[in-house]
Structure 1
């Protein structure tokens, strides 16, 4: 287990981008190194999706919305599409504000998004090179993660259009699309998949967080039906297995007694007989949970009633005397208390 933990830490470090701010510093021709926290005072609470994140320094005399607005208003990009960005002359103090990384790893873009200042955030997205857009803070959150957590659709759109990396994972292994699937940010998910090539989307769809869950799994677990439809339309693998027990989204939907998701998945061609690592199919789970309606739907969709799990059990073996479920299995040689199931009156 120790080696696994080390491997996870290595992966986090590999996925984290810390050098991007140096690219912008070079654009500004900054020569002297700076203290990362020199323009920010006092500790800040880490970002939380449940509570407002506070940054006392954001409103300090060092940096305010007004002062930063003045800076970014003076910095404009060249209108020539093939020419590099033309950066205005900035004072050393202004350069410090734009290139500082806080003690918690936040760039000024992270802070603008956290404080939901769309004007500043959009200006910075245009000013900064792509490498800066992909810098992750100490929680491994990129600006795209934060914009998604806060459901800031326009900021998500701006970041994606500028080429922000969709594959970056936060401290829980979640990409920004994972976050959207978990919290039901349908519009953000739409922007992250709009006009994106399948070659860029497939790796995101296949990425599993540290719980082994891909985006479709999270959407199914949280009954995010609109997002499930979106992922299916964009070509997500309906039969991808989560990493701990091998469940597909169909298994998860059955466990949740979510008929809507079950119908969506089956209608799009999900494998009705997909097996978990222990051999259980969705029908095993439906029967084991005494869900007659879903078990009936699975049977109507062609589920193989004779498949056995690693305990050598068929779905019928799990019926536990439930007459409604037993009636779903059309075998005339099955008997209960010496009587054939077929033809019995319930």
Structure 2
């Protein structure tokens, strides 16, 4: 294993891929009809969200206008109606339940995309759990969309109604993956707040199609507060991503993110965790000529004598860097299997 091979990983270049929702960005929402009170004007968002996110607007017959028409006059569930069986729903309510666009969106998907909280809340209240978990053609559930748009109230209501946290979109991301990737801290809070450890564990362990668990995505995107939340909720600090076997600590070292390195070490991450090729975080730090992080790892007890599959110690990757060499002088010299450091002659 050379220092280059212990160097940059190709997935670090594209770690901010989306959950499949970016394909919506070229499709503009049709404006709500004039004076319609059913949907408000779309709010201004950051440049990344300047174009609206809607898989249904382009080829579907359902538009902002027809969505308003569909809801107009529909008697959504009241407190008394709440106890009715689905068979007792009105014909108009049943139509709401069964309306699906060509792109697989339910009317709840569309309400969330429009960011109309009133209608979103009414639909969540009306729909049974099975409808809340319908995924569109990009395998995005309403919870995925609400998380991406940072609609905390919608996320809270969906989770309280029992929407699944385990559903994966076309990239393998759960809604919690989306929150970790895009820094939606409050959404992440709502998805983990009152969930039992047994139900949350599978979500925290789920890897997307690039082999990344939630903690990996949080580390890759320097989401320190979300990292703290995940650890508090029981995320495995040493879970390996599926392509090269890196832990969150390896990824933090890759990014020269000393804040994440300190956070993970303080929480008990394995300082000597090995990738599939045997490289430890210290191998990576030395290979990247990062003396500050290499020093921190050594201070945390990193074993300087561990060898990767190329039979290299971290010292072998120092490439003449005096600051790094000073961390472990003579550590590679052994007599009878013992390091000469500290031996008396």
Deviation at 1:168, TM superposition (A): 0.4
* TM-score under structure 1 length normalisation: 0.77
Judged with a 3 Å threshold, the aligned counterparts in structure 2 of structure 1 residues 305 and 82 are, in CA distance, closer, same or farther, namely farther
Deviation at 1:85, TM superposition (A): 6.3
CA contact (8 A) 1:76 1:87 kept: no
Deviation at 1:58, TM superposition (A): 4.6
The answer to whether residue 121 in structure 2 is matched with residue 122 in structure 1 is yes
Judged with a 3 Å threshold, the aligned counterparts in structure 2 of structure 1 residues 87 and 226 are, in CA distance, closer, same or farther, namely farther
The CA RMSD over aligned residues, in Å, is: 2.5
Q: Distance in 1 between matches of 2:69 and 2:84?
A: 30
Deviation at 1:200, TM superposition (A): 1.0
CA contact (8 A) 2:305 2:331 kept: no
- Secondary structure at the aligned position of 1:182 is classed as helix
Structure 1 stretches (4+) deviating beyond 6 angstroms?
Answer: 80-83
Which 5+ residue runs of structure 1 have no aligned equivalent?
1-44, 335-340
Q: Distance in 2 between matches of 1:329 and 1:292?
A: 12
Which residue of the partner structure matches residue 321 of structure 1? 320
- 5 Å-filtered alignment, 1:121-270, equals 121-270=120-269
CA contact (8 A) 2:304 2:331 kept: no
Judged with a 3 Å threshold, the aligned counterparts in structure 2 of structure 1 residues 75 and 271 are, in CA distance, closer, same or farther, namely same
Which residue of the partner structure matches residue 311 of structure 1? 310
Judged with a 3 Å threshold, the aligned counterparts in structure 2 of structure 1 residues 60 and 307 are, in CA distance, closer, same or farther, namely closer
Deviation at 1:95, TM superposition (A): 3.8
CA contact (8 A) 1:85 1:127 kept: no
Q: Distance in 2 between matches of 1:79 and 1:47?
A: 39
Q: Distance in 1 between matches of 2:64 and 2:232?
A: 47
Deviation at 1:110, TM superposition (A): 0.6
Which is worse superposed, 49-58 or 233-242?
49-58
Q: Distance in 2 between matches of 1:239 and 1:218?
A: 14
Deviation at 1:79, TM superposition (A): 4.8
* TM-score under structure 2 length normalisation: 0.78
Q: Distance in 2 between matches of 1:225 and 1:273?
A: 22
Deviation at 1:96, TM superposition (A): 2.9
Deviation at 1:162, TM superposition (A): 0.5
Deviation at 1:331, TM superposition (A): 3.3
Q: Distance in 1 between matches of 2:222 and 2:121?
A: 32
CA contact (8 A) 2:97 2:131 kept: no
Judged with a 3 Å threshold, the aligned counterparts in structure 2 of structure 1 residues 332 and 151 are, in CA distance, closer, same or farther, namely closer
Q: Distance in 2 between matches of 1:58 and 1:119?
A: 19
- 5 Å-filtered alignment, 1:75-90, equals 75-79=76-80, 84=85, 88-90=89-91
Which residue of the partner structure matches residue 53 of structure 2? 53
Paired positions, count? 288
Judged with a 3 Å threshold, the aligned counterparts in structure 2 of structure 1 residues 316 and 131 are, in CA distance, closer, same or farther, namely same
